[in-house]
Amino acid sequence: MAGCVLVGAFVAWERRAPAPMLPAHLFRSRSFSAGNAAIFFTFASLSGAVFFCAQLMQTGLGYGPLDAGLRLLPWTATFMTVAPLAGAMADRIGERPLMVSGLLLQAAGLAWLALIAKPDLTYTSLLAPLIVAGVGVSMASPAAQNSVLASASLEAVGKAAGVNSMMRELGGVFGIAVVVATFAGAGGYASAQVFTDGFGPAIGVAAGLSAIGAIAGLALPGRARRQRTSLRASCRPLGPTAVAECTGVMPRTRGAKRFEQRESIELSFIAALQSSPAPACGADPP
């Protein structure tokens, strides 16, 4: 209740402040609002999955911490291989197809994992759902970032990036809280069987959060990229500097875009791992 009151007070203050830290007009853009909503649920799902998949390897399947981390590499490797390609594709086909299809893939991969979880599960059975989920989130994250930052003017892009980062953090905290609550109601750490009894419903909820993110992604304007390209083209005769002032978007090379997108995805996943420490085998639940 106190948190809701403080949020309401913050919104009221920002709406009246002459130089607001969070300009309300940013949320009038469908690209900005839908992109932030999608990234919230993307990281809610991802953080919850990271939190429990490492524990499945240890508590459920009996691997040590190092072995568990190495066996998660096929999942995390997609952030370094698929994300740069997805960022380049977003410039060509727009953000909505990548965001929606990516989050649906993540939902499918996690739902698949939830259905097959059991104590005697082999590692090879985990590979396909982990890779599917990894490819999905690696497609969705660059698209969400593109939609948010491209919707802001040059002077507001820093604030837009801050909101995007905040939504990722809030989504991660929210996702872990919801998934842990689900696990606590269905399972525990008494044995591998008890753990997997709770793991299935918990990861199922994570899959549902990803599906909600895909629904949010449907609100993105379908031709946003074409509209931005047309606007930039209409200003191009004015020269590079005037184009930036006219469109509110500084021109960047394709290589710079790919580097920034790859760096953002890698840092996001590291942040999710840091906020989701998995206990060692046999440890008490967090």
3-state SS record for 183-216: HHHHCCCCCHHHHHHHHHHHHHHHHHHHHHHHHH
Distance of CA 102 to the CA centre of its chain: 10
Q: Cβ(197)–Cβ(187) under 8 Å?
A: yes
Q: Report pLDDT for 237.
A: 41
- Considering the domain delimited by 27-274, tell me its CATH architecture: Up-down Bundle (1.20)
Q: Cβ(102)–Cβ(86) under 8 Å?
A: yes
- Residues (pLDDT < 70) of the chain are 223-286
Q: Report pLDDT for 139.
A: 92
Closest to 211 in 3D by CA, of 141, 108, 74, 116: 108
**What crossing angle do the helices spanning 157-186 and 192-217 adopt, rounded to 10°?**
150
Q: Report pLDDT for 267.
A: 55
Q: Report pLDDT for 184.
A: 93
Report the distance separating Cα 97 and Cα 119, nearest Å. 37
First to last CA, the chain: 25
Furthest CA-CA distance within the chain: 69
Q: Report pLDDT for 277.
A: 54
Q: Report pLDDT for 253.
A: 45
Give the ranges where the chain is alpha helix by DSSP (H): 2-16, 30-55, 65-71, 73-76, 78-93, 95-116, 123-150, 157-186, 192-217, 224-235, 240-247, 254-274
R_g (Cα) of the chain, nearest Å: 20
Q: How many CB atoms are closer than 10 A to CB 157?
A: 17
- In the chain, domain spans: 27-274
